[in-house]
Amino acid sequence: METPPQTSRLRKNVMIGLRREMKGLGKSLKGWGVAMHRTSVKASKEKVLSKGLLLECRNKSKLGIPEALALLEKDPTPKIQWKFYGLFSAFLLYVFGHRGGVFQNMTIQEVMETKRSSTENTFLINIKTQGTNEMYGPAQIVLMEEEEYEWALRFLRLKDQLPGGLGAKFFFFVSTPNPCKNLNNYFQEAWKAMGLPGCPTFTDVRTSIASHAKFTHAPENRLKLCKFMCHDVRMADKFYVTNLTAK
């Protein structure tokens, strides 16, 4: 004699609750898998540049920028223009760790509207168009010396002699109305020309600055730096900060 099929004694609302719980667990496991994949990809691409190497980049680019501008004044050609782009973006990137899009979107008008600080001998450039402007406002670049701001003005005095310069809107312009999309390549070429090891990207420098900020700065200073880089501490930990090495 066959055993009659068993029917569930659980109430309908309990079954609905269980289904919801199982669905939620499935989603969390899926998210865990994505997080683990992101971590493994991030680890495989870890390139934290030492503070000493970043400082060397700053010092060498600071020496190279006036030389590139002098060459550009004598021979205003795209080849030297790209050299200046690489050195100037390297100098700005070392100090601020901004995304490449911030430099691409910096307009000539924003540079020309820059004013000297009333309390400090610095020049502040506000870049309104950047990926997280709705949350963090304009990205900022601070030129600490008058000489550094003069580099930008010297280049703009030459722009009309370069292809695309007459109608240019963006500071890093090309022969079309669009901003320069090859800044990362020009930065890498400048890095190599300065005799520095490796071939880092904009993201590598941003990751390095975010990591050093986490492990060597007081929390309040790290928070200020994160805001200046147009992200918060949580986003920095998720996408940029890497784990400490034994060294």
pLDDT tens, residue by residue, 87-126: 999 998 877 777 778 888 999 999 998 878 767 778 888 8
91 within 8 A of 223, measured Cβ to Cβ: no
215 within 8 A of 104, measured Cβ to Cβ: no
Q: What is the pLDDT of residues 140-149, one digit of tens each?
A: 888 888 999 9
Q: What is the pLDDT of residues 153-205, one digit of tens each?
A: 999 999 999 999 999 999 999 998 889 999 999 999 999 999 999 999 988 88
- Phi and psi based region of residue 162 (left: phi greater than 0; alpha: psi -120 to 50; beta: remaining): beta
Q: How far apart are CA 207 and CA 24, in angstroms?
A: 33
- What is the pTM (predicted TM-score) of this model? 0.72
Q: Which of 164, 159, 161 is nearest to 176 (CA)?
A: 164
The predicted structure's pLDDT at residue 57? 93
Q: Which three-class secondary structure state does DSSP give residue 124?
A: strand
Q: Where are the domains of the chain?
A: 51-199
At 219, give phi and psi (nearest 5°): -55, -40
